[in-house]
Amino acid sequence: MTLILGLETSCDETAAAVVDDQQRVRASVVWSQHELHQRYRGVVPEIASRAHLEKISVIVTDTLKQARVSMEDIDAVAVGNRPGLIGSLIVGVAAAKALAWSLRKPLIGIDHVQAHLHAVNLTIGDAPLPAAPTPHLGLVVSGGHTCLYLIRSPTDLVLLGRTIDDAVGEAYDKAAAILEAGYPGGPAIDRLAQTGNPDAYDLPRSTLGRDSLDFSFSGLKTALLYAVRGRPQGRGKSAAFPRSAADLSDTQRANLAASFQQAAIDALFIKLERALAQLTAENNPPHALVIGGGVSANSLLRTRATSFSQQHHLPLRLPNLAFCVDNAAMIAGLAHHAYRAKQFDTLDLPAVATTRI
């Protein structure tokens, strides 16, 4: 039985996990820095890197303890080395190198975005899950990424479309800031939307060009801002909004959150419909739909994905809720493919801010 220790420090979660070669998660520890960033309503890179540095050792020790294994039982050390905040990535990469070197075990650098899609294969139980049939459509919806792929194998991804401005998770976070709904924004909007009427406000769904599989969320964000605060009056420095979020009633806030959520999720499914139609017309129909990343925890997204899958007879794979937002189990799990293929990295593995795919 091969065991891989994974580390993840690409943004504001310090995480470690041990995953076996059947994709069973033996332990997964995630320390979220949300409290540190809350008052800035966004991640402060400098604070994030320092916090990773302080926590990484203790998180690794806790993870091994929970998995009931020792350092020597580990067969390889994997780390999310791209993409992300560079100062944050460097902490995980340096820690992984130190562990791999001192244990004389292979080092494996993993793409964080690809790992989000792999999260659907992880299991907490004893029975391994069947891998999603290929080729399949893979949608990554997170705070930093909104990307649609055709996945030919776990390591062979073709990019079909991506956001041209904000990521969908980022739009959720900004919507929560506009509505003063709390931080982190995604779960706050999701909760607030539960009691609102999604048809109360007509907010835009971007479609871009007729055949485009790209996404855009900046127009939706601006439309929400104007719906909440009114159109700015005056010019230049003297421009001011006529209202503030504090002027909204509870019903208005819930209706705005629900209308925003419906528009954001609609925009994702417009592109999934398009991609499915295009691939089918090209005689290359996908055999499944896989969704990963923080926004795959969203209640409306999960409901809509289920009906989309039923309507198109397309098997659906969503991650366990524990593996939607950033975690290291997805890093360790995906690293098993590289381990089997003996694709190891050397100690000069770089941290890279942008993704290669």
Does 142 bind ligand KG4 (CB under 6 A)? Our answer is yes
Residue 111's binding partner among ligand KG4, Zn ion, none (Cβ under 5 to 8 angstroms by kind) is none
Long-range contacts: 171-175, Cβ < 8 Å, 24+?
171/217, 171/218, 171/220, 171/221, 171/264, 172/264, 172/295, 173/41, 173/42, 173/143, 174/221, 175/221, 175/224, 175/257, 175/260, 175/264
- Sign of the C-alpha dihedral computed for residues 239, 242, 247 and 253 taken in this order: negative
Which DSSP state fits 24?
Answer: B
Q: Which is nearer to ligand KG4, 76 or 93 (CB)?
A: 93
Place of tokens 């540095």: 53
Please select the residue that binds ligand KG4; options are 294, 329, 333, 339, rule is CB under 6 A: 294
Which DSSP state fits 349?
Answer: P
Which DSSP state fits 209?
Answer: S
Q: Which stretch binds ligand KG4 (CB under 6 A): 86-94, 158-166, 288-296, 343-351?
A: 288-296
Does 142 bind Zn ion (CB under 5 A)? Our answer is yes
The token pair that represents 232 in the structure block:
């700015």
Does 121 bind ligand KG4 (CB under 6 A)? Our answer is no
Q: Which is nearer to ligand KG4, 76 or 265 (CB)?
A: 265
Place of tokens 């942008």: 354
The token pair that represents 270 in the structure block:
């417009």
Q: Which stretch binds ligand KG4 (CB under 6 A): 45-53, 199-207, 214-222, 287-295?
A: 287-295
Does 6 bind ligand KG4 (CB under 6 A)? Our answer is no
Strands of the chain, DSSP E: 3-8, 13-20, 25-32, 76-82, 107-111, 136-141, 146-153, 156-162, 289-292, 316-317
* Distance of closest approach, residue 231 Cβ to ligand KG4, in angstroms: 27
**Does the N-terminal peptide bond of residue 83 adopt cis geometry, omega within 30 degrees of 0?**
yes
Give the span between the Cα atoms of 121 and 109, in whole angstroms: 19
Does 81 bind ligand KG4 (CB under 6 A)? Our answer is no
Residue 187's binding partner among Zn ion, ligand KG4, none (Cβ under 5 to 8 angstroms by kind) is ligand KG4
* Distance of closest approach, residue 189 Cβ to ligand KG4, in angstroms: 6
Side chain identity at residue 214, one-letter code: D
Does 138 bind ligand KG4 (CB under 6 A)? Our answer is no
Q: Which stretch binds ligand KG4 (CB under 6 A): 38-46, 148-156, 179-187, 211-219?
A: 179-187
* Distance of closest approach, residue 115 Cβ to Zn ion, in angstroms: 8
Coil, strand or helix at 138: strand
Does 326 bind Zn ion (CB under 5 A)? Our answer is yes
Does 355 bind Zn ion (CB under 5 A)? Our answer is no
* Distance of closest approach, residue 354 Cβ to Zn ion, in angstroms: 14
Most distant pair of Cα atoms in the chain: their distance: 67
Does 295 bind ligand KG4 (CB under 6 A)? Our answer is yes
Q: Which stretch binds ligand KG4 (CB under 6 A): 19-27, 40-48, 124-132, 184-192?
A: 184-192
Q: Where are the alpha helices (DSSP H) in 3-85?
A: 34-37, 45-67
Q: Which is nearer to Zn ion, 118 or 205 (CB)?
A: 118
* Distance of closest approach, residue 186 Cβ to ligand KG4, in angstroms: 2
57 and 95 Cβ atoms separated by less than 8 Å: yes
Coil, strand or helix at 110: strand
Q: Which is nearer to ligand KG4, 78 or 297 (CB)?
A: 297
> Site residues (CB under 6 A) for ligand KG4?
11, 142-144, 169-170, 172-173, 184-187, 190, 293-295, 297-298, 325-326
> Site residues (CB under 5 A) for Zn ion?
142, 326
